[in-house]
Amino acid sequence: MTKVLTVEQANAFGAELDAVREQQMNNLGERDAKHIRRMIKIQKSLALAGRLLLWFGFMPPMFVVTWPLGVLCLGIAKIMENMEIGHNVMHGQYDWMNDPKLNSQTYDWDTVSDSDGWRYTHNYEHHTYTNIIGKDRDVGYGVLRVSKDQPWEPHHLLNPVSNVLLAAGFDAGVGLHDVQVDEFLKGKVSAKRSWEALKRFARKATRLWGKDYVLFPLLSGPNFLGVIAGNFAANMIRNVWSNMIIMCGHFPGEAQTYEYDESVLETETRGQWYVRQMNGSANIEGGKVFHILSGHLSHQIEHHLFPDVPAHRYPDMAPAVREICEKYGQHYETGPFLKQYGSFLGKIFKYALPTRKQQLAAA
Amino acid sequence: MTQLSNTATWTQRPLVRMAQRIGFEPANVDYFVEKLNPVWSLLNLRATVVNVREETHDTKSFELQPNMHWQGISAGQHVGVNVEINGVTHKRRYSLSRAEAVNADESKTIQITVKRVEGGLVSNHLHDHIQAGDVIGLEAADGDFVLPAELPNSLLVLTAGSGITPVFSQVATLLNEGYQGSIEFLHYVRSPADRIFGEQLEALAQQYSNLSVQWCFEAAEGQSKPERFSAKQLAKRVADYQERNAMLCGPAGFMEAVREHWADIGRSDALAFEYFGAPPVDATDAIDANITLKTGKQIQLNAGETLLDSLLENGPNLTADELPKYGCKRGVCHECKCRKTSGAVKNLLTGKVTAGEEDIQLCISAPVSDVTLG
Q: Which domains does chain B have, with CATH numbers?
A: 6-142 (2.40.30.10), 154-275 (3.40.50.80), 289-373 (3.10.20.30)
Pick from A20-24, B118-122, B214-218, B258-262: least confident:
B118-122
* CA dist A185 → A179, A190, A191, A194 (Å): 11, 10, 9, 10
Contact B106, B68 (CB under 8 A): yes
B71-82: b (≥16 Cβ within 10 Å) or e: eebbbbbbbbbb
Confidence of residue B102 (pLDDT cuts 50, 70, 90): low
The answer, yes or no, to whether residue A134 has pLDDT greater than 90, is no
Question: What is residue B9's DSSP assignment?
Answer: G
Within 8 A of A28 by CB-CB distance, chain B residues are 87
What is the per-residue DSSP string for B284-307? TT---EEEE-TTS-EEEE-TT--H
Contact assignment for A97 to B88 by CB distance below 8 Å: yes
pLDDT of residue B54 exceeding 90: yes
Q: Is the dihedral of CA B92, B97, B103, B105 positive or negative?
A: negative
Considering chain A, what percentage of its residues have pLDDT values greater than 70? 96
Q: Is the pLDDT of residue A300 over 70?
A: yes
Q: Which residues of A68-92 are buried (b: 16+ CB within 10 A; e: fewer)?
A: ebbbbbbbbbbbbbbbbbbbbbbbb
Domain ranges of chain A: 7-359
Distance from the Cα of A324 to chain B's closest Cα (Å) equals 21
Q: What is the DSSP string of B136-170?
A: EEEEEEE-S----SS--SEEEEEEEGGGHHHHHHH
Task: Find the residue in A nearest to B86 (Cα).
Answer: A30
**Nearest by CB: B320 against A32, A95, A211:** A95
Please give the residue of chain A at the shortest CA–CA distance from B28.
A44
- Rounded CA-CA distance A93/B152 in Å is 54
pLDDT band at B298 (very low <50, low <70, confident <90, very high): confident
Mean pLDDT of B108-125: 89
Chain B residue whose CA is closest to A211: B23
Q: Which of A174-178, A310-314, A319-323 has the lowest mean pLDDT?
A: A174-178
Tell me: the pLDDT tens digits for B139-167?
888 777 777 677 888 999 999 988 898 88
Alpha-carbon span B130 to B83, nearest angstrom: 10
CB pairs under 8 A between A and B: 80
Residue A363: pLDDT band with limits 50, 70, 90: very low
Minimum CA–CA partner of B35 in chain A: A41
**What pLDDT score was predicted for residue B6?**
52
pLDDT at residue A331, as a whole number: 94
pLDDT in tens, B120-138: 889 999 999 999 999 999 9
SS3 readout for chain A: CCCCCCHHHHHHHHHHHHHHHHHHHCCCCHHHHHHHHHHHHHHHHHHHHHHHHHHHCCCHHHHHHHHHHHHHHHHHHHHHHHHHHHHHHHCCCCHHHCCHHHCCCCCCCCCCCCHHHHHHHHHHHHHHCCCECCCCCCCHHHCCCCCCCCCCCHHHHHHHHHHHHHHHCHHHHHHHHCCCHHHHHCCCCCHHHHHHHHHHHHHHHHHHHHHHHHHHHHHHHHHHHHHHHHHHHHHHHHHHHHHHHHHHHHCCCCCCCECCCHHHHHCCCHHHHHHHHHHCCCCCECCHHHHHHCCCHHHHHHHHHCCCCCHHHHHHHHHHHHHHHHHCCCCCCCCEHHHHHHHHHHHHHHCCCCCHHHHHHHC
pLDDT at B281 over 60: no
Q: Is the ipTM of this complex over 0.90?
A: no
Query: Which H helix or E strand runs over B21?
Result: helix B14-21
Interface test with B, best of A98, A104, A206 (most B CBs within 10 A): A98
Residues 6+ apart with CB under 8 A from B191: B217, B218, B219, B220
Could you say which of B24, B27, B327 has the minimum Cβ distance to residue A215? B24
Residues from chain B contacting residue A199 (CB–CB below 8 Å): none
Report the C-alpha gap between B231 and B212 in whole angstroms. 19
Preferred mutation among A101, A206, A208 to probe B, highest tally of B CBs within 10 A? A101
Q: Does B179 touch chain A (CB under 8 A)?
A: no
Residue of A nearest to B30 (CA): A44
Band of pLDDT at residue B1, cut at 50, 70 and 90: very low
Q: What is the pLDDT of residues B64-94, one digit of tens each?
A: 999 988 888 887 788 889 999 999 888 888 8
Query: Could A206 and B90 be called an inter-chain contact, meaning their C-beta atoms sit closer than 8 Å?
Result: no
Residues of B in contact with A123 (CB under 8 A): 321
Mean pLDDT of A153-179: 91
- pLDDT at position B53 is 94
Q: Does B266 touch chain A (CB under 8 A)?
A: no
> What is the distance between the alpha carbons of residues A135 and A264, in angstroms, rounded to a whole number?
13
Contact: B89, A308; criterion CB under 8 Å: no
Rounded to a whole number of angstroms, the distance from the CA of B212 to the nearest CA of chain A is: 45
Q: Are A235 and A171 in contact (CB under 8 A)?
A: yes
| B24/chain A closest Cα distance in angstroms | 7
For A90-109, the pLDDT digits (tens) are 988 998 898 889 988 789 99
- Nearest to A119, CA basis, from A133, A135, A103: A103
Q: How far apart are CA B370 and CA B367, in angstroms?
A: 7
Q: Report the candidate in A87, A252, A230, A236 with the shortest Cα–Cα distance to residue A164.
A: A236
Measured torsion, CA atoms of residues B39, B41, B43, B45, in degrees rounded to the nearest 10: 20
The whole-angstrom distance between A100's CA and the closest CA on chain B is 6
Q: Which are the contacts of B361, defined by CB distance < 8 A and separation ≥ 6?
A: B331, B334, B336, B337, B338, B347
- In terms of phi and psi (left: phi > 0; alpha: psi -120 to 50; beta: otherwise), the region of B315 is alpha
Q: In terms of pLDDT, which residue wins out, B352 or A209?
A: A209
Contact: A208, B23; criterion CB under 8 Å: yes
**CA distances for B15 relative to A88, A156, B11, B12, B24, angstroms:** 33, 48, 9, 8, 11
Q: B36 pLDDT band (50/70/90 cuts)?
A: very high
Percent residues over pLDDT 70 in chain B: 89
What b/e sequence results for A24-45 when a residue is b if at least 16 CB atoms lie within 10 Å of its CB, and e otherwise? bbeebeeebbebbbebbebbbe
- Mean pLDDT to the nearest integer, A14-34: 92
* CA distances in angstroms from B105 to A118, A150, B52, B108, B284, listed in the order given: 44, 68, 21, 6, 49
Q: Which of A32, A36, A34 is nearest to A85 (CA)?
A: A36
Q: Round to whole Å and give the CA distance between B311 and B366.
A: 12
Residue B177, Cβ neighbours under 10 Å: how many? 12
Residue B2: which of A29, A106, A207 has the nearest Cβ?
A106
Q: What is the mean pLDDT of residues A177-189?
A: 81
Q: How many CB atoms within 10 Å of residue A247?
A: 25
- Residue A254's pLDDT is 86
Mean pLDDT, residues B346-357 taken together:
78
Closest residue in chain B to residue A33, using alpha carbons only: B87
Q: Residue B331: which pLDDT band, with cuts at 50, 70 and 90?
A: low
Find, in chain A, the residue whose alpha carbon is nearest to that of B4: A100
The span from the CA of A308 to the CA of A97, in Å, is 13
**Region A5-19 average pLDDT:** 93
Which residue in A75, A139, A141 sits closest to A113, CA to CA?
A141
pLDDT of residue B283: 47
Whole-number pLDDT of residue A262: 78
